[in-house]
Structures are given as structure tokens and as C-alpha cells.
Structure 1
């Protein structure tokens, strides 16, 4: 049975309907965010980065990033998630920087590990319809919530 190794709770400043997690080692990212960002796709994996499309234009989302030693139990839309998607990412630095579309990198980092460069990823999101409406009127905080789980690709 898989065991959670760590969990971080971070705020993500979303702008222009998107944000990403990108390897801190820029030399391992051939195309930096936001180049190639697809606003319609919930999760898109690129070399060294993961792009997320938000339902709200400008707001602060809540991110829970979990690192596991193996694949965690899967959760789906029946568990209260609006979106669930999987991908892979290679991260040589062991850290992922949080980026906004226009604002660029934020001071927040997701710490993975030094033990594995290849990771499987499962991303979940809820609060999309609410943030879509609320972001038209203001800049909501914590309405859209993400859970992103990482585990070694070889686990």
C-alpha cells in the first residue's frame, strides 16, 4: 500500500485562466511557460512542466501537493472532483516552481525529492463552476481547489 511522504499547501495566483508547475532547473525545460499553454485543457504535460487550465480568469487557487512512495488510491468525479487527469513529468532539480501566465514564477515551490527524476502525476480540481462565476465580479480566494499527487515513475 502506498504511503504519503509529504504534503504542501500553497496558494496559486492564477491569471489568464492558467498556471503551471515547472522544473526549477530551466535548462531542463525546452519551452518555458506560458509558451504552448492550451487554456482549454485541464492538465497538459510538457517536458519539465505541467500546465493547468483554470475556470477563472484571475483569482487565488488553493493547491495541495502530495508526494507518495507509490500510486495513491484513485479518486474521481464521483468523489466530488470536477476534473481528474493524469500525466508524467521529468524533474531533475527535485523542485517545481509555481508559475502564472502573465506574472511568471511565484515564490512558491513544490518539493518532490532527490531520489527520482521521473514522476507520475494525478491532478484533481473542484470549485470550477463557482470560480467561473465569482471571477467575473472580483478576485476570489480559495474557491478553486487543486490536489496534485506525485509518485515515482518506477514505483
Structure 2
């Protein structure tokens, strides 16, 4: 049975409708964020990074990161999620920096093991509301994400 190992609550400064989670050791990131973004896709995996497309242009989103020791139960029943996706990422350092088009953010995702490949499911709620609100202001915490990480071949 999967067990929750750690949890983080992060603030994400979204710009140009997106953000990325990127390995901090840039030797493992052939093309850094935001190059090669796919705006039509909610989630896109690239070597060393995962891109997430947001519902709003410029705003602060909230993200809860859960790290599990094995594949966790689906979070489908927790919220009325508007988008979800799944990807894999190899983290040589055990740390994924959050990136906006303007550059890296101060917060990062800390994984308990370096040199491991991780599976991640990312869910989002508040996309439609933040799309509407971001046209008039810079909303905070309207769009919310849940990212569930677990080791590949746990």
C-alpha cells in the first residue's frame, strides 16, 4: 500500500499561461523552459523538465506537492478537477526548480532521492475562473494544482 512520504505547499508565479518544473542540474536539461512549449497541451514532458499550461496569463497559483513511496490512489474524488495529466522525469539532483518565462522562481520541489526517475500526476482546478479573473487583475490562489510524485519501479 502506498504511503505519503512528504508534502509541500508552493506558490507559483505563472506568466504567459504557463510554468515548468525543471531539474536544477542543467546538464540534464538539453532545452530549458520555456523553449518548445506546447500551449495546446495541459502537461508536456521534455528531457529534464515538465511544462504545465495554465488557464490564466499572469497570476499566482497554489500547488500542493505530495511524494509517495509507490503509486498513490487517484485524487479524482478530492476536487472537480478541470485538467489532469501524467509524465515522468529523471531528477539527478532530487530538486526541481519552478520556472516561469521570466526565469526561475525562488521555490522548488524537493524530492527525497537524487538520481531517480519519478512518475508524476498533476491535477488542476480553477482554470476557468482564473482565465476570467486574469483579464482584469492578477489573481492569487484561484488556480490550484496537486502534483503526486512516486518513484518509477518502486
TM norm structure 2:
0.96
Q: Give structure 1 stretches of 5+ with no counterpart.
A: none
Q: Note the residue ranges of structure 2 that are not aligned, 5 or more in a row.
A: none
Alpha-carbon offset, residue 28 of structure 1: 0.5
Instruction: Give the TM-score normalised by structure 1.
Output: 0.95
Change (3 A) 1:25 1:115: closer
Q: CA deviation at 1:56?
A: 0.2
Measure, in 2, the Cα distance between the counterparts of 1:108 and 1:11: 8
Which residue of the partner structure matches residue 134 of structure 1? 133
2:33 counterpart SS class: coil
> Tell me, what secondary structure is at the counterpart of 1:131?
helix
Maintained 8 Å contact 2:119/2:150: yes
The verdict on how the C-alpha distance between 1:95 and 1:78 changes in structure 2, with shifts beyond 3 A counting, is closer
Partner of 1:118, secondary structure, is strand
Q: What's the C-alpha RMSD, in Å, of the aligned pairs? A: 1.3
Using the TM superposition, give the Cα deviation of residue 77 of structure 1 relative to its aligned residue in structure 2, in angstroms: 7.6
User: What is the distance in 2 between the residues matched to 1:58 and 1:48?
Assistant: 24
Name the CA distance, whole Å, in 2 between partners of 1:71 and 1:110: 18
Paired residues of 2:62 and 2:143 also in contact (CA < 8 A): yes
Q: Which runs of 4+ in 1 moved over 6 A?
A: none
Query: Where does residue 54 of structure 1 map in the other structure?
Result: 54
Shift of 1:76: 2.9
- Distance apart, 1:74 and its partner CA: 1.1
1:107 aligned residue? 106
Mapped partners of 2:139, 2:78: distance in 1: 25
1:90, distance to aligned residue in structure 2 (A): 0.6
Aligned in 2, Cα 1:2/1:131: closer, same or farther, shift over 3 Å?
same
**Secondary structure of 1:40's partner?**
coil
Q: Distance in 2 between matches of 1:54 and 1:108?
A: 18
Asked if residue 5 in structure 1 is aligned to residue 5 in structure 2, the reply is yes
